[in-house]
Amino acid sequence: MKTYESICIGVPEILLPRRGIDMTKWAVIACDQYTSEPEYWQKVRQEVGDEPSTLNLVYPEVYLNAGDKDERISRIRANMADYMKKDLFEPISGFVYLERTVGERVRKGIMVCLDLEQYDFRKGSSSLIRATEGTILDRIPPRVKIREGALVELPHIMVLIDDPEDRVVGRLAGSKDKLSKIYDFELMLGSGHLTGYRVQDSGMEQGVIEGLKSLADTAGFVKKYDLPASTPVLLYAMGDGNHSLATAKTIWENAKEKAADKAAIMQSPLRYALVELTNLHDEALVFEPIHRVLFELSSGVDFDAECRSHFKAGVDLDKAHGLDDMQRRIDEQTGPTHEVGLIDADGFRMLAVHQPESNLPVGTIQGLLDKLVSEGKVREIDYVHGTDSVCQLGMKSRNLGVYLPAMKKEDLFKTVILDGALPRKTFSMGEAWEKRFYVEARKIGSVK
């Protein structure tokens, strides 16, 4: 694989489904979506039937707590080997430029490999590739178990670059009529359209590389964000798939530690991860909040009393006049007070925290929610995308939905540079149905 180590880039060797395979059935949404809605994944299974599909190669996280976890992982391994032996993949080399139509918007991206040697998801990281939100360490081991020993990787990872002049992705978007189209199809269950183009021209490849190098220039970087000259460059910020990339990093570090030949291991495909690179300033890229749902509050737990006890500086709790009123008040809030919406079987309410210690409402409320789980006062928390989901789930008996505002995407890079990772699950790039679908794969193991 051709690599550009100074900017962490590898030109990928990609596996695409063999021609003739039904692409709509092949591509399924990221495995970490609809984690509290098994009916969605049942619809996907019905849509796919017995046809070749990435559904058979990934582990939908709605089933992470199922009793047949080991059997599911074994089936995934067997399916990967079967697909390889049956030549259901066709290899291509080079970047892939893609366009995802979501509603009336078209989101653009480039499939590349990122060098995990230059990624550090730990708090306080100064690496070229960084996490944008806190990594939940206990979520990594089950994902390692799924990925470790896999023959192929299928990414739902989206990584952001802060490129206001659109010098990277825009180079390919403006020349797509010169690129060969490699897929063009409707995504299942109303999730839009996806088109991909192969980048074979060396000049176009170099244009992408030069654009990334310009973003990595130290002088330009510190000037853009008004930083001290010694500030380490942040070139790539995680958008979606933070825990997937952290899992790939963990496996890579484990492989290095176990390797007898320390030089040879550096050429391993495990060193890199296949991701979609997207411009933060893409007009179709919308930052949506990630809401919270508390499942099964224990009998006798008074959430209002828990709020008053936890937030010593004082809170206000009052009713909202329906969903629209709650959304307006949350989404338009200004000033030092942090407000979040509360949704339960009785309707919609507002929680206002007057002297929050966090910079964002999500950080203010998360400490209380974690405390309730640790004290056994709620069974679990799930993180959901979209107003419909948080309302439907929050209104169920003994549940509570927490509606949060979105953050401004323009603030992301400088916030991460100055303050480090944001509170976990702070933002989502679009709602659940807009998330990345599995299409491309990359070989990371060998059939035995």
Region 91-116 average pLDDT: 97
pLDDT tens figures, 54-94: 999 999 999 988 889 899 999 999 999 999 999 999 999 99
Residue environment code for 267-289, b if the CB has 16+ CB neighbours within 10 A, otherwise e: eebbbbbbbbbbbbbbebbbbbb
Does the pLDDT of residue 447 top 70, yes or no? no
Does the pLDDT of residue 247 top 90, yes or no? yes
Residues in a beta bridge with 439: none
Cα–Cα distance measured from residue 442 to residue 16, given in angstroms and rounded to the nearest whole number:
9
**What is the pLDDT, as a whole number, of residue 46?**
98
Cα–Cα distance measured from residue 19 to residue 390, given in angstroms and rounded to the nearest whole number:
40
Region 90-109 average pLDDT: 96
Token reading at 367: 């400490």
Average pLDDT, rounded, for the chain: 94
Strands 400-403 and 378-385, how do they pair?
unpaired
Using left for φ > 0, alpha for ψ between -120 and 50, and beta otherwise, residue 271 falls in alpha
**What is the pLDDT, as a whole number, of residue 358?**
80
pLDDT tens figures, 292-341: 999 999 999 999 999 999 998 689 999 999 999 999 999 999 888 999 99
**What is the pLDDT, as a whole number, of residue 411?**
86
Cα–Cα distance measured from residue 436 to residue 58, given in angstroms and rounded to the nearest whole number:
14
Region 384-400 average pLDDT: 94
**What is the pLDDT, as a whole number, of residue 177?**
95
